[in-house]
Amino acid sequence: MIIKMPYITTGGAKNLPLYKGGTTIDNSIMYSYVISPACNVIVEIFPKSFQYITATGFVCNFVALYLVSTLIGSVVDSKDGPLDDSNYRWVHFAAAFLIWFYMMMDNIDGKQARRTKTSSPLGELFDHGCDSFTVGLATSVVGLSVGLTLWEIFFVFILSTIPFYLAHWEEYFTHHLILGMLNGPTEAECAIILFCCLTGIYGQQLWYTQIDILGHGIRLKEIMFIIMSVTSISTSLQSIYSGCRKAVAMKIPLLRAFSQLLPFTLFLVLEFIWVYISPQLYLEYPIVFILASTFIFSYLNCRCIVQRICSEDFRMFYKPLIFLITAVFNSVLIKYAGIVIVSEEYALFGLFGISLVFMVHFTYTIIQEMCSILKIRAFTVPKEKQV
C-alpha cells in the first residue's frame, strides 16, 4: 500500500521506481576536453557517497559569498567604484578556488554514482538542486568580486535564473537536458573563476578600465554585463523553442505548456515589483535579499524536477510564493497607503527565514520520501558497491 506523501503524490510514488533517468547532452568544449577528463582521474580517490561530494562542494559557494561580501564589500553606484581591495586580493583567489572546487565536485558526483552503481532519482535531484542554489550564490560572488553595482548584480541574478529554470521546464517535455558548446554551466563557472583570478591579480580597477568602441567609451564590466545578458536571452529562447516543439509533438496544448511557467513568472514579477517599490531595502540588505530569492527559486526549481522525475503534472502555485506576495504587498501598503503592518526590514528577514525553512523541510522530507519509495539509503554506499 502506497501512502500519500507531502511532496510526492500517490501516482508519483508509483511512477518514481520506473524512472529511467534523464539524459544530459553536454556539448561543452571545456567539459568534454578539460573538466571531464580531469574528473575521471580525481574520482578514483573518492570512495564515499557521491551525495557527500555534492554537499561538500555546495558549502563552498556559501563560504565564497561570505568572504567576498564581508571583506570586499559592494558597489552601490558605479561612481563609488572601484573599491580598494589591495589588502584583500587573496579573497578573489579564494573565491575562485571555492567555485572551482564546487564545479569539480559537481562533476565528480555523477561519475562516482555511476562508478559505484548507485545512481538514483534522488541523486539527480540532489545534484540539480545544489546547482539551482549556485545560480544565486555564484552570480553574487563574481558580481561583488569584479565590482558590479548592486543593481547590476540583481539583474545578473535574474538573468541567470531564467535560462536555468527554462532548461528544466524544457527537460520536463524532452527528457533531455541539453547544454550548449559555449553557453552552458561549465563555461559560466569557468568564466567566474577566470574573472575572480584576474581581479585577484590586477584589482577591481581592471573592470573599470574604459575602452573605445565606435567612438563611445565603455567599461570592461559593462561589456561583461552585456555578454551575460545576451547569452541568457539567447539560451532562454532556445529552451522555449525546444520545449514548445516537443509539447506540440506530444499533443500538449501550448497554453497548458506555458501555464506551467506561471509560478516562476509570478516569482520574477514579484521580484521586480519589490525592488521598484523598495529599492533602498535591496540596497541596504542585498545579500539577504538575494539569498531569500535564491531559496524560493531553488524551491520552485526542485519541485519542477520532482514532477518530471515522478511523471506528475505541474502545479500552478507553491506556498513560498504566498510569503513573497505578502512581503511585496506590505511594501505597497507602506509606500502608497502609509499603512505599516510590519517594517520592510522585518518582512525581508521574515521572508528569508520562512523560505529557508521551506527549503530545509523540502530537502529533509523529499530525501525521506524517495528513500522510502526506492528502498535506498542516502549518503551511504553499500559495502558491496564500495570501490
Mean pLDDT of 264-277: 97
**pLDDT score of 111:** 74
What's the pLDDT at 167?
87
Q: Which domains does the chain possess?
A: 10-385 (1.20.120.1760)
* Distances, alpha carbon 30 to alpha carbons 33, 221, 381, in Å: 6, 23, 30
Beta bridge partners of 15: none
Instruction: Write down the pLDDT at residue 1.
Output: 41
**Which pLDDT value is given to residue 2?**
46
Q: Most confidently modeled of 56-60, 135-139, 383-387?
A: 135-139
Please report the pLDDT score of residue 364 as a whole number: 93
Spatial distance between the Cα atoms of 282 and 290, rounded to a whole number of angstroms: 9
- Is the model's pLDDT at 150 over the cut of 90? yes
Helix axes 121-146, 185-202, angle to 10 degrees: 30
Whether 347 shows a pLDDT value over 90: the answer reads yes
Computed over every residue of the chain, the mean pLDDT equals: 87
149 DSSP 8-state letter: B
d(CA 40, CA 107): 9
pLDDT in tens, 156-198: 999 999 989 988 888 888 777 776 665 567 888 899 999 999 9
Q: Give tens-digit pLDDT for 80-130.
A: 778 888 899 999 999 999 999 998 888 887 777 777 777 788 888 988 888
**More confident call, 346 vs 130:** 346
Owner of C-alpha cell 563611445: 216
pLDDT band at 37 (very low <50, low <70, confident <90, very high): confident
Cell of 380: 551511504
pLDDT surpassing 60 at residue 272? yes
User: Which pLDDT band holds residue 384 (cuts at 50, 70, 90)?
Assistant: low
Reported confidence tier of residue 383, pLDDT bands at 50, 70, 90: low
pLDDT, mean of residues 266-276: 97
Closest CA to 246 of 318, 323, 185, 166: 166
CB 192 within 8 A of CB 140: no
**pLDDT cut 70: percent of the chain above it:** 91
Which of residues 330 and 40 earns the better pLDDT score?
330
Inter-residue contact 270 to 331 (CB < 8 Å)? no
228 CB-near residues (< 8 Å, 6+ apart): 156, 159, 160
SS3 259: helix
- 386: pLDDT strictly greater than 90: no
Query: Quick check: 38 pLDDT over 80?
Result: yes
**pLDDT digits over 192-229, tens only?**
999 999 999 999 999 999 988 877 888 998 888 888 88
Q: In the prediction, which pLDDT does 46 show?
A: 63
- End-to-end, the C-alpha distance of the chain in Å comes to 36
* Chain segment 354-381, per-residue pLDDT in tens: 999 999 999 999 999 999 999 888 766 6
CB neighbour class for 66 (10 Å; exposed up to 12, middle 13-18, buried from 19): middle
For residue 362 the three cell numbers come to 523540502
Q: Taking the model in full, what pTM does it have?
A: 0.91
